[in-house]
Every structure is written in structure tokens, then in C-alpha cells.
Structure 1
């Protein structure tokens, strides 16, 4: 079942991003939103020829109550910076090549995020993807649609 979920996630990334977007060149990366008709943003993670991870997104934008599904190598970790995480977990290791991050419906009302949301109308979470000891660090943006 986990393999099937990973396969579906990777196929979704290829369909949404196009095969040419699976590249370590930033110019090919784009914004990822939840897939049409779902509450799930699917993010592909690859490894370039030098072993450096890359994410097929320059940013990920989701709303409260949605989730992000990272799919890639069998072993990787999504780690949040500055002790700030939407799911209150700093390190999120993969299971069968997949990491799921749930964004709580009440994220804007959480004490630690109220002021940032009031000032900016959104929350930003800096995270890193670590594969084989090498890290890449784009960001996740949570805002109302």
C-alpha cells in the first residue's frame, strides 16, 4: 500500500510539473498548490548527479486543514527550522519514501502563530529536506484561499 501511495504521488508530481521540472535548476521549479479536487499538495524530491537533493517546487502554498505529501528517495527527512513547525514536529523522517505534513485547521489560532498571521496574513515555515546528509531548504506558506 505504501508503495502504491508513493507511486501515485510521484505520478502526480510528473503530471503537475512535467518531466522537465524534475531538475536541480531553480528556473524549472514552480509553486505547488494542492492538486485539483483534493486537500493534498504533492511534492517530488529528487537527487541530482552530485547527490544533492532537490524539490520540484520553489514554494508550497496550502491552507489550514490541508496536507503536504513529500515523495522521493526511500530515506529522507523533512526538518523544520527555527523550532517552528505547522505540525509541531521538527524532524519528520520518511516512511517508505513518503512524509506527510498535516496543517491543522486551527493553525492561525495557535498562540505562537497569531501575531505573525495578524501582521502578514499568512504563515511561513522554513524547512529542509535532508538526503544522505545533504540539505535543501525552501519554504512552506500557509494562507487562506
Structure 2
């Protein structure tokens, strides 16, 4: 895992060959799984990703400040890495960002959830967002029941 260098020097050392990656922010810690690094998503440490250590391209510390009172870390990860999400508010989940059947399945699950809860337009059973935002009604959604 590359550390303590300016991230562009590491991630774009060859500007013609920049890897596909995902950037996460949190608190880096040891994992109970061999070959993994844990990234806690909150300061109470009850939600986290287990990240394959070899998938970590670079880390950088975000110093404590008024906007970030606790010192967190930025972690650049290979986009095709399979992460394990764990925590008290989520079921254990394996996921890859932006690729593969997991992403497709998650997109379908999100659409189904949006249909039940009311889609992005706020209309139940409408899962398509309007072509443009504003105060005009979008014709693609059914009328709301009165």
C-alpha cells in the first residue's frame, strides 16, 4: 500500500494509464480478516468496509480541522475490488463499485425500493427522474391518488 506521497504522484505516475478507482473516506484500522484492511465509516466504529489490502492503491491522512475534527483517511481503491460491508444498520454485503453483477443488482434493488417508497419525483410507483428540475409537473409519472 503506497503511503505518504502526494496522491497524484502515486495514482497518475503514468498519466496515460490512470487506473479505475474509487475514493472512500473514514478511519483506517486493522481487520480481523487476513489480507484485509478495515475502513470505519463513522466515529462510533459500528459500520465499516473490509477492503482487500492489495486493492488499496493509496492512502492519505486528512488532518483534523474545524470541518473535520477527527483525523480521517482518504483511501483510493481499485474500482473492481470486492469489498465487504458490515455494520449494525446493514446486512453483511459484498460489493464492487461501478462494475459487475453486484452493481447491476444493487441498481435494480434501489429502483424497486424507490418504487415502493415513491421515486425521485416523490410520486409513488414512479422511478424515473424528471428531465429537468423546477416547479413544472413531469408528464412521465402518474397522478398521485387523492
Which structure shows the higher helix fraction? Answer: 1
Greater Rg, structure 1 or structure 2?
Answer: 2
Larger RCO (CA under 8 A, 6+ residues apart): 1
